[in-house]
Chains A and B, each alone.
Chain A
């Protein structure tokens, strides 16, 4: 009997260790490619990969001095700002009746609003391309890309705000952050709708179609850093807001 228990606990321990090792493997799998990318961005090797010949900041200087990147960055930020504004305003407005009132067809409306999340972006891109150029005869521009991206980001804001109407301001901020992030990263809708302008994802895409370049490694590392910074801010923000509210409570009398 005692031997039996011993065997079982050994097996349990082995199983536990095995699972922990597996968990570690998953994190290595998730982060190794990203870590390597950042590592190679400091590598003097002009192929941008192994082996590391010497450490350098040259690729960062190149990327920062590249005016095509400046242009793409400013277009990306302008588009993202407009997309964020549209999706927050439209999405927040729509979230209220969706939750609060007992409207007929509420479930139907809900499904229709959430459909753009279920449909691949590719379909949104090509169908809007046909609408804009084939039916409306509009000139493709960053504005048409803004419309296309908003179709895709607004449902996320609706979902987020509808789920947390009690805490409206944090929900709106989270929605704005999500819309902004999705917009920065959006490729396929923008690719079809922006005409002859480029955003950062499109610039990167045209560079990497033919393989690795160290300058893109540097650009990628800076973008990764920026998105991690935004993520950290997003996690810090609720705490900051709570602290601010606490600080103002005696005067504001709980209104905030």
Chain B
């Protein structure tokens, strides 16, 4: 009996292992074949070139060199980083007191509905939320119409729209819910008595905040930064709709290159975005994986 049973053993061990990988298969095909492979192709494309609308397999750094040789492109790159930093900072800056208020001053039974209310705009269409600002800021928008109707100006003021500050305003509007939600979940868990205790023991308020509050809510802050900063880096619609020529971001450059069939140059610019994301994740990798940050 034993001699029969023995060869079964290795097969049985192999069986469950491959069986437990099997459910992955569709996901591996979908995300491997249609996400990782195309990203790899983009990397290769960024080192090839387009001649007469055909992608030619010449290895070159020309796409990158071209991008950095055009002042307007480099300026757009820096402006994109600037817009992302400012919009992220304002979103978090607005979200922090809001989360503080919600977690400390709002009666417990009202917290959940108020939190859901913050997320409701997120469930409505992204495009429509950008569009809704046109009705306020646009040339025929509420502000201009109101000023004309009230007789303050006779011509529409372009001031409210088609520049960088309009882009930042709308981005803050779009990403505030993310920031509020992630900050709320970490602030809610914070024990405010500890802050008071630190101050009772002689710490200045600023020092207490820096040494007690910030380390404990840091995971929430980092998550919020990542979830706001990264999508903003790749924004296309908002600068396209409310930004005009003054609010162009790097995502618009990517689309322009691809629409002009400049595939290899577009690939290089897309990889610049990916590079910035990678850098951000590397900078924050410690805060993302440090369990002691949760107060453990």
Q: Does A81 belong to the interface (CB within 8 Å)?
A: no
B258 pairs with A93, CB closer than 8 A? no
Query: Count the B residues whose beta carbon is within 8 Å of the partner chain — how many?
Result: 82
Q: Which residues of A contact B105 (CB under 8 A)?
A: 16, 19-20
A19-B101, A109-B24, A148-B34 given; A223·B141 CB < 8 A: no
A-B contact count (CB 8 A): 238
Q: Which residues of A contact B126 (CB under 8 A)?
A: 185, 187
Q: Does A192 belong to the interface (CB within 8 Å)?
A: yes
Q: Which residues of B contact A150 (CB under 8 A)?
A: 30, 34
Proximity string of chain A (135-159) to chain B, C-beta cutoff 8 Å, 1 when within and 0 when not: 1000000000001101100110010
Centre residue among B31, B135, B235 by max chain A CB count within 10 A: B135
A90 to B139, CA, bound (A): 46
Proximity string of chain A (101-139) to chain B, C-beta cutoff 8 Å, 1 when within and 0 when not: 101000001001101101111111011111100110000
Q: Does A27 belong to the interface (CB within 8 Å)?
A: yes
Interface size class of A (residues with CB under 8 A): 35 or more
Q: Does A69 belong to the interface (CB within 8 Å)?
A: no
Q: Which residues of B line the A interface, CB within 8 A?
A: 17, 20-21, 23-27, 30-32, 34-39, 41-42, 45, 55, 94, 97-98, 100-102, 105-106, 114, 116-118, 120-121, 123-129, 131-136, 138-142, 145-146, 149, 173, 176-177, 180, 226, 230-231, 233-237, 240-241, 251, 254-255, 258, 263, 266-267, 270, 273-274, 277, 281
Q: Which residues of A contact B101 (CB under 8 A)?
A: 19-20, 22-23
- Which of chain A's residues has its CB closest to B133's CB? A33
Cβ distance B51 to chain A, nearest Cβ, rounded Å: 14
A148 to B251, CA, bound (A): 18
- Interface secondary structure of A, over-half rule: helix
A201 to B127, CA, bound (A): 7
Among A85-103, those with CB < 8 Å from B are 86, 89-91, 93-94, 96-98, 100-101, 103
Q: Which residues of A line the B interface, CB within 8 A?
A: 16, 19-20, 22-23, 26-27, 29-34, 36-37, 40, 47-51, 86, 89-91, 93-94, 96-98, 100-101, 103, 109, 112-113, 115-116, 118-124, 126-131, 134-135, 147-148, 150-151, 154-155, 158, 181, 184-185, 187-188, 192, 201, 204-205, 208-209, 211-212, 216-217, 220, 223-224, 227-228, 230-231, 235
- Interface secondary structure of B, over-half rule: helix
19 pairs, A vs B, C-beta closer than 8 Å: A30-B176, A30-B177, A36-B142, A37-B128, A86-B30, A93-B24, A103-B17, A122-B254, A123-B42, A127-B35, A127-B38, A150-B34, A154-B30, A208-B131, A211-B139, A212-B141, A217-B135, A224-B125, A231-B120
Cβ distance B267 to chain A, nearest Cβ, rounded Å: 7
A216 to B35, CA, bound (A): 34
